[in-house]
Amino acid sequence: MTQLTAQDIHALSRQLHAMKQSAQGEIRLANDDLRTARQAGASEVHNFSDDAETLQAQNVRVEEIEIDQTRLAEIEFAEKLIAEGRYGKCIDCGCDIALQRLTAMPTAVRCAACQTAAEQSL
Ligand SMILES: [Zn+2]
């Protein structure tokens, strides 16, 4: 197994940075939508069927924000590993994670085998 070169790390950290900006942008947009929806809901004359739909739409937004926040946390964790020089090592077995895998998923913290094992044990 070959170690990641400085160039690989650089390319992956750029990828992570772009992913982070997109996740942050989506969280901001979803939050704005949610705020607008809540303000509109508060000022409207209440109609129960509309309320149910509005609530449902707000719940979807809340779920989207949670997914984006999870993504953001994974990205920040990967960035922390880069800063600590531990990036590219599987957190379970310590082996090098294949560059191909990291390029496809820069937030990967486990090798393919350990990831499969972790998912199966859920
Ligand atoms: Zn592993």
Query: For residue range 98-121, what is the model confidence (pLDDT) as tens digits?
Result: 999 999 999 999 999 999 999 998
The single-letter DSSP state of residue 88 is T
User: Which pLDDT score, from 0 to 100, does residue 17 have?
Assistant: 98
Alpha carbon of 101 to ligand 1 centroid (Å): 12
Alpha carbon of 90 to ligand 1 centroid (Å): 5
Alpha carbon of 22 to ligand 1 centroid (Å): 28
Alpha carbon of 1 to ligand 1 centroid (Å): 13
Alpha carbon of 97 to ligand 1 centroid (Å): 8
The pLDDT tens digits for 8-55 are 999 999 999 999 999 999 999 999 999 988 887 776 655 666 778 888
Which candidate, 96, 93, 97, places its Cα nearest to that of 108? 97
Structure-token match 């790390």, residue found: 9
Alpha carbon of 54 to ligand 1 centroid (Å): 44
Higher-pLDDT residue of 1, 48: 48
Alpha carbon of 114 to ligand 1 centroid (Å): 4
Alpha carbon of 99 to ligand 1 centroid (Å): 14
Alpha carbons 100 and 55: distance in angstroms, whole number = 42
User: Which pLDDT score, from 0 to 100, does residue 46 have?
Assistant: 59
Query: Can you give the residue ranges of every domain in the chain?
Result: 6-87
User: Which pLDDT score, from 0 to 100, does residue 1 have?
Assistant: 46
Alpha carbons 36 and 33: distance in angstroms, whole number = 5
Alpha carbon of 86 to ligand 1 centroid (Å): 14
User: Which pLDDT score, from 0 to 100, does residue 2 have?
Assistant: 59
Average pLDDT of the segment spanning 80-98:
95
Which candidate, 86, 87, 83, places its Cα nearest to that of 106? 87
